[in-house]
Amino acid sequence: MTGADERHRAVLSRLRMPAPVLAALACPHCGAGLAPAGDALGCAGGHAFDVARQGYASLLTGQRRPAAPGDDATMVHDREEFLEAGHFAPLARRITEVVAGLAPDPGMVADVGAGTGYYLRHVLDALPGVHGLALDTSVYALRRASRAHPRAGAASCDAWRVLPLRTGAVGVLLNVFAPRNGPEFRRVLADSGALVVVAPTGRHLAELREPLGLIRVAPDKEDRVARRLATGFAVEGREEVTASLRLDRAGVRTIVGMGPSARHADPAVLRRRISALAETVEVTASWTLSVYRPT
């Protein structure tokens, strides 16, 4: 065995990515396919990308910081703790039902802004013949997403730049509380595919906003999402998904800690406000789930 062969084996042993997922990847610089190249992934154009020891591919490009900063270690810890406690299980079930009804063809589901891979994992559990790719900026989230499911892989990318996927490689694209790059979504999605977008409504966590000083959902949020996707997509269906949460103070801390308010709130002030809440609080979770088809 040559030294190159050994390095190829080494990179593939680190990469937690099924072969169909690797085959769907594309170089974010030139669009060529990716394959083992020495101790990394590379393309015919000579671009090379590291594979982290945790199993995800590092496909960020350029020296600039991503337009949307990734979740830090604390936010990812809170997100994993909250989601694995089952608080957002109703949303995961509904996303899974919708995607199953769409029958992804090709059999690839990509989740842009996947976080820990929680929603992608539920989808793949229900669709035995389908593979998945978790895309995110946060290395802390990707370390978990790379282990989310045996039929999934994970890669770092900036959602506002070129997505590291071949044109038309995706049957269903998931976008849950994440940036929406309309032109790139359309490029990577098959003509027969579908885009599933989830965004919070104005009622989401309404009971916590005033007492904790949380960021409000913009009243025109849904319209802005639709405008961003107006070129290349048409709405096929839209529904509201709701859940009633009964949270103790620890649950409140984690749901705030995993969201955008965590970036803006003073930690000491937030702790004081949470301690002033009742021991358990009833909180409304409310999301808009929209299905878009390519035009």
Q: How confident is the model at residue 1 (pLDDT cuts 50, 70, 90)?
A: very low
- Residues 200, 286: contact at Cβ < 8 Å? yes
Work out the widest C-alpha separation in the chain, in whole angstroms.
66
Query: What number is the average pLDDT over the span 124-134?
Result: 97
Could you tell me if 131 and 107 are in contact, meaning their C-beta atoms sit under 8 angstroms apart?
yes
Q: pLDDT by residue (tens digit) across 218-251?
A: 777 777 788 889 889 999 999 999 999 999 999 9
Weakest-pLDDT range from 55-59, 65-69, 136-140, 141-145: 65-69
Question: Rounded mean pLDDT of the chain?
Answer: 92
Report pLDDT for 289.
97
pLDDT at 67: 53
Q: What confidence tens digit (pLDDT) does each residue in 36-50 have? A: 998 899 999 999 999
At residue 66 the predicted structure's pLDDT band, cuts being 50, 70 and 90, is: low
State pLDDT tens for residues 215-225: 887 777 777 78
Q: What percent of the chain has pLDDT over 70?
A: 94
Mean pLDDT score, 192-197: 97
Three-class SS state of 233: strand
pLDDT the model gives residue 265: 77
Mean pLDDT of 206-223: 84
Reading the block at residue 19, the tokens are 């072969």
Which residues have a Cβ under 8 Å from the Cβ of 75 and sit 6 or more positions away?
138, 140, 257, 258, 262
Q: What is the CA radius of gyration of the chain?
A: 19
In single-letter form, the type of residue at position 41 comes to L
CB within 8 Å of 134: residues ≥ 6 apart = 111, 114, 115, 117, 120, 142, 145, 146, 148, 152, 153, 154, 155
